[in-house]
């Protein structure tokens, strides 16, 4: 496994690897956990060479966010990636990625307006800019992103399509702790008491999914029930719960087809996000769910 720090050296090495097979890429901010490693494994399956980047990207953090305290442990990350059979770690400095005079940004419109974008105004522009740069440096055949950050993955997929990167975007499932909490580098900020409460977010998402699968089509009802669970079972402060379509990420008026239920909440000062995609297979199934729900409601 090689560790490359300079942009030009990474470009040269990527060009060489690409001439020998399919080049897969997993961008990360490090402090790796099983969620990241699952992306590396998926990448490995679909490619001949795997490049993983570790870069805590300053442009995607707002002025009051956690750039300075974001956890970093390159030595540990390096060991984990070596064990996964990673071929190259790209580990640039902030100065290498954003040299003096840097002035160009990539922005995906619309998709970045709602959900997290509403509360983190500079975030997605930072993400798309750094991923565009990383794609230009590595020029991967495919890149793997996690559904954990669903809006990010959808935004990057749109950027890759709109700007003709020619990189296939694979979205990988969210890896969770045994109690359901989505793995995140930020979970280490949680106190013991907050860590005990945190799985309520996934429990509320599962409740949302169940309600939808049972035929509930009113997003306001689903969101209200989810909020109740979170309020009753934790001290979490909700930032948002939204039910959106999976193309434009716009709130749906009536739930049908395939929807993304996404949320963000603060436990103390730690902001956690999670989501679930619900697919309703067909209208008959929806009607059947509604019918079954009516019957069970009668018997309550």
Site for ligand AMP in 168-207 (CB under 6 A): 172, 174-175, 182-185
- Least separation in angstroms between residue 124's CB and ligand AMP is 13
Of 172 and 262, CB closest to ligand AMP = 172
- Least separation in angstroms between residue 17's CB and ligand AMP is 21
Candidates 135, 110, 138, 136; CA nearest to 124 is 110
Residue owning tokens 């409740």? 207
Q: What is the DSSP string of 235-298?
A: --EEEEEEEEETTT-PBPSS--SEEEEEEEEEETTEEEEEEEEEE---HHHHHHHHHHHHHHHH
Of 127 and 244, CB closest to ligand AMP = 127
**Active-site residue 36, yes or no?**
yes
Of 36 and 120, CB closest to ligand AMP = 36
- Least separation in angstroms between residue 27's CB and ligand AMP is 6
CA distance 122 to 128: 11
Instruction: Kindly state the DSSP code that residue 182 receives in the 8-state scheme.
Output: B
Catalytic residue among 31, 33, 36, 299: 36
Each residue 9-48 as x (binds ligand AMP by CB under 6 A) or -, in order, gives: -------------------xx-----xx-xx---------
Residue owning tokens 């060991």? 79
Structure tokens at 288: 């059947």
- Give the 3-state DSSP-derived string for 94-144, with helices as H, strands as E and coil as C: HHHHCCCCCCCCCCCCCCCCCCHHHHCCCHHHHHHHHHHHHHHHHCCCEEE
- Least separation in angstroms between residue 117's CB and ligand AMP is 16
For 41, residues 6+ apart whose C-beta sits below 8 A from its C-beta are 84
Site for ligand AMP in 97-156 (CB under 6 A): 145-146, 148-149
- Least separation in angstroms between residue 5's CB and ligand AMP is 18
3-class SS shares of the chain: helix, strand, coil, % to 5: 45, 20, 35
Site for ligand AMP in 62-81 (CB under 6 A): none
Of 141 and 149, CB closest to ligand AMP = 149
**Active-site residues: which are they?**
36
Give the footprint of ligand AMP on this chain (CB under 6 A): 28-29, 35-36, 38-39, 145-146, 148-149, 172, 174-175, 182-185
């Amino acid at each position: 496994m090689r560790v490359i720090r300079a942009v030009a050296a990474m470009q040269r090495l990527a060009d060489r690897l690409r001439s020998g097979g399919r080049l897969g890429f997993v961008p990360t901010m490090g402090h790796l956990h099983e969620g990241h490693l699952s992306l590396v494994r998926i990448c490995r399956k679909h490619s001949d060479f795997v490049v993983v980047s570790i870069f805590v990207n300053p442009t995607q953090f707002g002025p009051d966010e956690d750039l300075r305290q974001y956890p970093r442990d390159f030595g540990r990350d390096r060991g984990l990636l070596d064990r996964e059979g990673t071929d190259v770690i790209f580990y640039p400095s902030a100065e290498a990625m954003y040299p003096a005079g840097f002035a160009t940004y990539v922005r995906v419109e619309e998709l970045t307006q709602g959900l997290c974008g509403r509360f983190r105004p500079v975030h997605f522009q930072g993400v798309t800019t750094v991923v565009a740069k990383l794609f230009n440096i590595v020029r991967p055949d495919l890149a793997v992103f996690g559904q954990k950050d669903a809006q990010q993955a959808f935004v990057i997929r749109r950027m890759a399509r709109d700007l003709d990167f020619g990189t296939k975007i694979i979205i990988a499932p969210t890896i969770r702790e045994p109690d359901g909490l989505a793995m995140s580098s930020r979970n280490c900020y949680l106190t013991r008491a907050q860590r005990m409460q945190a799985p309520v977010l996934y429990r509320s998402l599962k409740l949302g999914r169940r309600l939808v699968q049972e035929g509930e089509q009113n997003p306001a009802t689903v969101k209200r029930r989810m909020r109740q669970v979170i309020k009753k079972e934790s001290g979490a402060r909700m930032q948002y719960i939204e039910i959106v379509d999976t193309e434009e990420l716009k709130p749906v008026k009536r739930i049908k087809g395939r929807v993304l239920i996404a949320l963000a909440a603060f436990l103390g000062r730690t902001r956690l996000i999670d989501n679930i995609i619900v697919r309703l297979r067909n209208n008959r199934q929806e009607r059947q769910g509604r019918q079954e729900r009516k019957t069970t409601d009668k018997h309550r």
